A and B are shown apart, each in its own frame.
Chain A
Amino acid sequence: MGKEKTKGGLNMYSEILMDHFTNPRNVGEIKDADAVANVGNVVCGDTMRIYIKVKDDIIEDIKFKTFGCGAAIASSSIATEMVKGKTLDEALKITNKEIADALGGLPPAKVHCSVMAADAIKKAIEQYREKTKEN
């Protein structure tokens, strides 16, 4: 148990990923969110919750809470950053591959964690659209 830091998170994550894990952006809740989506990960049982606030079809604010591995937390963080300020249509186009690439790549066993982030955003937007349709 030396106290010197090891670089690059357990030797499998990039510096970018570790930055998002250590200083996650947009973590938290939105009290008066327009939509809240929960996604579970069938592969390893982890969960992610996304809150969005929409104005004029634009994602004005987005927050997340994630229970999962480093890749899952970093994926949530960077994905929320990527869609914030975007129109709903633009946000829907974000793929898990783009999320993984933005993180400097993911080890093969961790690709499903970025899928979870992409799915959560999709689900939140769909939920928002459902809701606004009704009104």
Chain B
Amino acid sequence: MQIKKKGKHIITSSIEHHAVLDACKFLEKQGFEVTYLPVTPEGIVRVEDFKEALREDTILATVMHVNNEVGTIQPVEEIGNICREKGILFHVDAVQSFGKIPVNVDDLNADLLSVSAHKIYGPKGVGCLYIRRGTKIQNLLHGGGQERKKRPGTENVAGIVGFGVAAELAIKEMKEDSDKLTKLRDKLINGLMERISDVKLNGHPTKRICNNVNVSFKYVEGESLLLSLDMKGIEASSGSACTSGSLEPSHVLQAMGVPYEFIHGSVRMTLGRDNTEEDINYVLEVFPEIVERLREMSPLYQ
């Protein structure tokens, strides 16, 4: 990267997706220095921390718009403002927010912004990187003139067209979808909190994307919860060590300082536009029994 002459400091957050974290780790090996900002217990980056992390040689900041595990909406606008003032390149990972809340590169002061098609009901394997005019980035591949030489190769036309249509629809139906999902989300969260004891909401109650539910149940382990939910036709995921192939608990929940016993019993459910109130009622009906059964088996539960 030619940019190294200008400086070698990068700022990101500790709750980024691996797509960003792994890239940062790679850049560290190339001699860049990376600051991983901490987050509040509710999973939000503090603008103050960002300001403090700034250095003379900071050249790039990359922060996600919405966290994929706990759904928290990050203060990217403010961070973008600061970057603009200081002349720092700003990349926003908008994979989780695009199509659900307004994403405007000018409002966010983003120089770079990435989005993925499959998160908005588009085809898998397509995404896009917005590059503000005048922002210089190196070619990713070499070998042709396509995509302004940045990523040459014959275009995946079907994917691109599918993505375009999905984006159009997502924007058109954004308000309606997100109002509906927010209602379902809150019904699910509140219902679980009411019906089950020793439960904790992970993330922020309101600074939260409309489709994300992430709750933890003490005394039960996440994978056994997922198995039980799966048998009832409910698809979920967990931040528990036992569910991650690497046996590492969720880096996001760890960064938030969620106690281990709660990370173990964490469950994320993602709502989609096809979900109905009936689905939520069904989940609320079967969930307490599942937790109860597993707690009965747990040596930690008295």
Interface membership of B23, Cβ < 8 A: no
Contact A65 B297, beta carbon cutoff 8 Å: yes
Q: A1-B233, A5-B233 are in contact. Are A67 and B300 (CB under 8 A)?
A: yes
A window 48-89: CB within 8 A of B: 48-49, 65-70, 72-73
Q: A65-B297, A69-B221 are in contact. Are A109 and B233 (CB under 8 A)?
A: no
B contact residues around A48 at 8 Å (CB): 299
Q: A22-B231, A67-B221 are in contact. Are A43 and B279 (CB under 8 A)?
A: no
A contact residues around B279 at 8 Å (CB): 1
Q: A9-B227, A10-B227, A73-B224 are in contact. Are A47 and B300 (CB under 8 A)?
A: yes
B contact residues around A44 at 8 Å (CB): 240-242, 247
Contact B299 A49, beta carbon cutoff 8 Å: yes
CA distance in complex: A70, B243 (Å):
10
Interface membership of A132, Cβ < 8 A: no
Q: A21-B224, A69-B221 are in contact. Are A45 and B297 (CB under 8 A)?
A: no
Q: Which residue of A lies closest to B241 (CB)?
A: A44
| A-contact bits for B142-157, CB 8 A (1 contact / 0 none) | 0000000000000000
Contact A68 B227, beta carbon cutoff 8 Å: no
Interface membership of B232, Cβ < 8 A: yes
Contact B231 A70, beta carbon cutoff 8 Å: no
Q: Which residue of A lies closest to B265 (CB)?
A: A67
CA distance in complex: A126, B241 (Å):
30
| Distance from A46 Cβ to chain B, minimum over Cβ atoms (Å) | 6
Interface membership of A6, Cβ < 8 A: yes
A contact residues around B219 at 8 Å (CB): 67
CA distance in complex: A67, B300 (Å):
7
Q: A10-B227, A48-B299 are in contact. Are A109 and B221 (CB under 8 A)?
A: no
A-B contact pairs, 29 of them (CB 8 A): A1-B234, A1-B235, A1-B279, A1-B282, A3-B232, A3-B233, A6-B233, A10-B223, A10-B226, A10-B230, A24-B297, A27-B296, A43-B241, A44-B240, A44-B241, A44-B247, A45-B260, A45-B264, A46-B242, A66-B298, A67-B219, A67-B299, A68-B224, A69-B221, A69-B224, A72-B221, A72-B224, A73-B297, A109-B245
Give 6 closest A-B pairs by Cβ, nearest first. Answer: A69-B242, A3-B233, A65-B299, A69-B223, A44-B241, A49-B299
